[in-house]
Chain A
């Protein structure tokens, strides 16, 4: 039976009802999106075969898959690694800047009043538009790409961290004050841990935005990376290949997103919602 097959974990020799139930729940969670995705791909494939759509306008999924498979694995790895490098360094820079900045913003009204408008202006500027300018200023090296990824990604993390730092129960702040504890401990032992759920939702947005930033930067100035690969493919009308690069990009982005979710589950299990949506 389907249930039995899924619930059989390598570690557990015994088979019990809770196992089967958990497995069934997993099937119920995973099955609908998988079905939807499969249906979409089937419809796409059928449409390309039934209607006279030129493959350079919309290649069928089968063509996307085969052209992706034709690209040497080492070439894929090279492009993925180049993009990942920009994303991860940009992401790390976002954390290193956003979290202390949010602490400063929440610690001082004066700082918050003077810095926040600047941040809003930065956030309102379409970074995509200034990406070429950044490349002129910083050159075509990896630094420019990291700066672009960082500039697109860091702001949501500042806002969610600052919100989290303010969301600490007032009583605990009063407890801290009544103990005359050092202000830094109020942040390290109370405010920051309480902000963890907020920080993680910020991290998820920031990670996704850093991927976008990295790809944008590769459109503007790069000689490797998935963004560059998409641009090259389209300029040679290898649309199917561009689509396969897009699929790899989406997979990478999803993987990074899931990595953050796993990190939160592993390190801060108490910060997760008690009752996950059914």
Chain B
């Protein structure tokens, strides 16, 4: 597990090869109103193995675009995205994605939803994958719900199924695009601790997009603060909180200090804009 360092740095923690690396990445696309949108401008960053990085910033700062670039779903207009030293030209097997909405398939039961990626990719499901899916359901505490349909589950439970689904092929990297933002505040906190527990049991390199500064601080080793139009990195904040993170973490003075520092960085921006 990565031990957070002390001062803020713009590079990945030293001594480890970055799993994800972006070099001078800019992205433009043509919107549905046929305007040219400059989504990202000259982004350079590196994420180390098993590091948890949160991307925070106001709407429209290109956080989701950044995740899609890393996922290989879109290509950067300028610059390069690399995973484990290899340039990303198409989606790669090392990646699992969790979206804002659970987007489960309503006609499949929970277990089949977790297995779905294998069935979708290979056409058939082997016994080992089925067994893995059951283990993952245990990991997200939903073993008893394997035969239920998604609409019989609460929003938080559905999102846990989506997390299990993203872990099925044991990806090295987990990309999470505001995974808890559709949940109520209490469920949201519970899910954060759930995710911390999952990451302790199965260490992953995580890029986590969120609007919530406390959520970012609770989860991440580093927080990348972004500003909009065009999306660029304002600041990279090293989170000065020890692990394991608990409810007490949020009472740590450093938690509030860092939170208000990030808030100032973001809102100082918005006042000027």
Contacts and interface: CB of A to CB of B under 8 A. Distances in A.
Contact of B121 (A169, A172, A181, A193): A181
Contact of A171 (B95, B99, B107): B99
A179 B103 contact: no
Given A174-B97, A270-B151, A193 B105 contact: yes
Interface in B105-136: 105-107, 116-117, 119-121, 123
A179 B68 contact: no
Interface residues of A, number: 19
B233 to A, nearest CB: 24
B90 interface: yes
A175 interface: yes
Contacts of B68: 174
B149 A270 contact: yes
A112 interface: no
Nearest to A193: B107
A190 B106 CA distance: 10
Given A185-B123, A274-B151, A175 B106 contact: no
Contact of A180 (B91, B101, B105): B91
Contacts of A177: 73, 91
A185 B103 contact: no
A176 interface: yes
Contact of B106 (A171, A185, A270): A270
A274 B99 CA distance: 24
A179 B99 contact: no
Nearest to A172: B103
Interface in A152-179: 169, 171-172, 174-179
B140 interface: no
A178 B91 contact: yes
A176 B73 contact: no
Which of B90, B99, B119 has most A Cβ within 10 Å?
B99
A56 interface: no
Which of B71, B91, B97, B120 has most A Cβ within 10 Å?
B120
B103 A169 contact: yes
B120 A174 contact: no
Interface in B227-260: none
Nearest to A179: B121
Given A171-B99, A174-B68, A270-B149, A179 B120 contact: yes
B151 A176 contact: no
A193 B106 CA distance: 9
A174 B73 contact: yes
B114 to A, nearest CB: 13
Contacts of A193: 105, 107
B76 interface: no
A189 interface: yes
Nearest to A185: B120
A178 B71 contact: yes
Given A177-B73, A270-B107, A270-B151, A189 B91 contact: no
12 contacts: A169-B103, A171-B99, A171-B101, A174-B97, A178-B91, A185-B120, A189-B116, A189-B120, A193-B107, A270-B151, A271-B106, A274-B151
Given A178-B95, A179-B120, 18 more contacts: A171-B99, A171-B101, A174-B97, A175-B99, A175-B103, A178-B71, A178-B72, A178-B91, A179-B91, A179-B117, A180-B121, A189-B119, A190-B105, A193-B107, A268-B107, A270-B149, A270-B151, A274-B151
Interface of A: 169, 171-172, 174-181, 185, 189-190, 193, 268, 270-271, 274
